[in-house]
Structure 1
Amino acid sequence: MNDESALRRELAMTLLTDLDPLIADLAADICAHSTRYASGRPVSRDDLELTLRGNIELALGEFGRLPGDRGRFEAVAADNGRLRAEQGMPLATVLKAYRRGGRVLWQAMADWMRDRPPSQQRLMGDMAGAVWETIDRFSSEMADAYRLRTLELEHRDASRRGALFEALLDGRAGDPAVAAAAASALGVPRHDRFVVVLVAQDARDPASPPDPGPTLETAGMWSFWRSRGETVAGLVRLGTQEPAVLVDTLRAHLGYRAGVSPAFTELALADQGLRLARRALDTLAPGRGEVAELDERLVHAALGTEPEIAERLVARYLDGVLSSGVEGPALLTTLRVWLDSGCSASRTAARLFCHRNTVLNRISRVAELTGRPAESGEARLGWALALRALELAP
């Protein structure tokens, strides 16, 4: 055994014989430099001192190359990392505590070395390197285990949130325990203003589902999203926001077809929100990145549930116009704008940038082709419904 090895062994054994003052100094220094440790939550003072004792015993054993299980060094460091991850202690705070511990340990060693002969004091530089190498190894093992455990916990939490979200959408939140667990896991109250959004994925790129979450967060709205078959379902917490703000945000940034349910005030009603969001989505033709709010498309939704009725409406009220050849598109456009303008020829002409007489002539032509007088309330209602049904046609 050379001089340095003998000195390191003697130093380690000397400090190990009376650890209590060193542990007390270590704990005091760490708490003085960390409000988290000083608070005693989640790591109590007793827990901190117990951990410090185990770590210092191992560090001194490693430094002094004392007999023992060398593999236990890495195992204890990893156990420390996993425990602090489970306690929610920030990794930066734990690493800082390790650095503070190394500083106090080295100070204790330096104090002991002051009374040694000059020939031994010349070895302090090499010994300092050995101390910090030991601390770095321990810190590295701890940090690796901490990060791995954090990933495991995040995966577990994400799986639990996903399962409880599915329970909401499947209608199982009628059980108060399920509703309470879902609210806790998602981090939202059971009673607030919510909507469900259902987004149709691009079948050509199923591996990249849409994620409106970051955009909505920027707009001040919390949301949680989950893939469901060929769609992505999202629960959005409106709070004091109006649904129109959500719809406008989605229209501006989403780029996918989406249906939005009416607002509801109980988390347990998310399954109903999903059904209504589906009804809204079904009113949109595939391939068009539009966003439909159900309350804006109730007629479309009602017609969509009765495709035979929708077909009969189109056939009964618009067949003549659809069969009229090249003039058909202009007649349909004029009819739609005329009905939306309160059947005012002047307002329709202004919106279409044409003469009032042109509008009157086209409406007369529609009446002629469909065999219904333009003055008839029944005809106007039939035309309006048929136009909405036409939008649902493939």
Structure 2
Amino acid sequence: MRRGTRYGALLGPLLAGGARPDLVERAARGLGLPERGRYAVVVLGAPVPEGAVVEGPDVDGARWWWGGADGSPGGAEGRGEGREEVREVAVVLLGPAGPDRVVARLRELGAGPGGVSPVVGSPSEVAAAHRLAGTALLTCEPGSREIVRLDERLPAALLVSRPELSTRLLAEVFGPLLTLVPAERSLLVETLEAWLECGGSVGRAAARLGCHRNTVFNRLRRLERLTARSLSRPRELVDLVLALDVLRLSSAPAGPGGGG
């Protein structure tokens, strides 16, 4: 992985949308980026870990160019917090293992939170990839060290891209749920998450939560009554899953768990 003020200056025209084609071409030549290749952009929401920036290709053959701090909005749109965050950005010429190895490498280094763009085929597409990597970063849970690919988080990416609709969705679907005391709300949310992660199996969710399957069933029925949506109707289940994503991405915690 490479880094330095020279790289940062050259990456500027590539990462910023709207740069003149001749500037993009000149920057790509200065960095040694081939005209055609498999590129991805990484955006981190925290400083690059010690040891992450080294000269030359990594073990997979991928080549990294770190541009240093990116002072673009780091979540104001998706979080509604209105603050500026410094983000670290890298352009990666992918090796044979592709973007999965990029994600694995960043996790090995303890980086995160971070977003990885879809693969693009030329330096002229890096600006678009930069925007998408930033969107992927916004789908990371607050306070986490997740490294995620945009293609794995497309529904959540749609939500963070339209915060006013996300707020409306949360209020419309989970409004009554949000009026509960935090312990009750957290219990129902935790049960729904476990049920979804267990493929809709009440028995497996009960084993994960350490309670009786009837307890899980009763909590889910209560959730259905509060939201006026059925887990057995696919379109209504989509509403619940998307609202759960909005709640997960909110900076406000759901509250401590409780018994029941």
* TM score, norm. by length of structure 1: 0.53
* Structure 1 gaps, min length 5: 1-157, 203-207
Give the superposition deviation at 1:234: 0.4
Over the matched positions of the two proteins, sequence identity in percent amounts to 36
Please name the residue that 1:226 is paired with.
67
2:40 to 188, 191, 195: 195
Distance of aligned partners of 1:311 and 1:365 in 2 relative to their CA distance in 1, 3 Å threshold: same
Q: Does 1:317 align with 2:173?
A: yes
Correspondences of 1:242-261 after superposition (within 5 Å): 242-261=98-117
Distance of aligned partners of 1:210 and 1:236 in 2 relative to their CA distance in 1, 3 Å threshold: farther
Contact between 1:171 and 1:268, CA under 8 Å: does it hold in 2?
A: no
Distance of aligned partners of 1:349 and 1:225 in 2 relative to their CA distance in 1, 3 Å threshold: same
User: C-alpha separation between the residues in 1 aligned to 2:114 and 2:185?
Assistant: 30
User: C-alpha separation between the residues in 2 aligned to 1:374 and 1:275?
Assistant: 34
Give the superposition deviation at 1:201: 3.6
Give the superposition deviation at 1:258: 1.4
Correspondences of 1:199-218 after superposition (within 5 Å): 199-201=44-46, 212-214=52-54, 217-218=58-59
SS in 1 for 2:229: coil
User: C-alpha separation between the residues in 2 aligned to 1:246 and 1:254?
Assistant: 13
Distance of aligned partners of 1:233 and 1:314 in 2 relative to their CA distance in 1, 3 Å threshold: same
Distance of aligned partners of 1:161 and 1:226 in 2 relative to their CA distance in 1, 3 Å threshold: closer
Give the superposition deviation at 1:347: 3.2
SS in 1 for 2:139: coil
User: C-alpha separation between the residues in 1 aligned to 2:6 and 2:184?
Assistant: 59
User: C-alpha separation between the residues in 1 aligned to 2:18 and 2:222?
Assistant: 55
1:166 to 4, 12, 26: 12
User: Could you say what the CA RMSD is over the residues aligned between the two structures, in angstroms?
Assistant: 2.7
User: C-alpha separation between the residues in 2 aligned to 1:307 and 1:173?
Assistant: 28
Give the superposition deviation at 1:373: 3.2
Counterpart code for 2:190: T
Contact between 1:196 and 1:261, CA under 8 Å: does it hold in 2?
A: yes
User: C-alpha separation between the residues in 2 aligned to 1:307 and 1:289?
Assistant: 22
Distance of aligned partners of 1:328 and 1:194 in 2 relative to their CA distance in 1, 3 Å threshold: same
Higher relative contact order (CA 8 A, sep 6+): 2
SS in 1 for 2:216: helix
* Structure 2 gaps, min length 5: 72-85, 252-260
Contact between 1:247 and 1:260, CA under 8 Å: does it hold in 2?
A: yes
Contact between 2:61 and 2:96, CA under 8 Å: does it hold in 1?
A: no
Distance of aligned partners of 1:314 and 1:210 in 2 relative to their CA distance in 1, 3 Å threshold: farther
Larger Rg: 1
Correspondences of 1:1-394 after superposition (within 5 Å): 161-171=7-17, 175=21, 177-201=22-46, 212-214=52-54, 217-227=58-68, 228-229=70-71, 230-325=86-181, 326-394=183-251
Contact between 2:206 and 2:216, CA under 8 Å: does it hold in 1?
A: yes
Question: 1:99-149: CA deviations, max 9, x gaps?
Answer: xxxxxxxxxxxxxxxxxxxxxxxxxxxxxxxxxxxxxxxxxxxxxxxxxxx
Give the superposition deviation at 1:217: 2.3
Give the superposition deviation at 1:302: 0.7
* TM score, norm. by length of structure 2: 0.77
Counterpart code for 1:195: A
SS in 2 for 1:264: coil
Contact between 1:172 and 1:178, CA under 8 Å: does it hold in 2?
A: no
Distance of aligned partners of 1:269 and 1:385 in 2 relative to their CA distance in 1, 3 Å threshold: same
Please name the residue that 1:47 is paired with.
none
Distance of aligned partners of 1:308 and 1:180 in 2 relative to their CA distance in 1, 3 Å threshold: closer
SS in 1 for 2:38: strand
Distance of aligned partners of 1:235 and 1:209 in 2 relative to their CA distance in 1, 3 Å threshold: same
User: C-alpha separation between the residues in 1 aligned to 2:165 and 2:36?
Assistant: 39
User: C-alpha separation between the residues in 2 aligned to 1:223 and 1:191?
Assistant: 16
Distance of aligned partners of 1:214 and 1:355 in 2 relative to their CA distance in 1, 3 Å threshold: farther
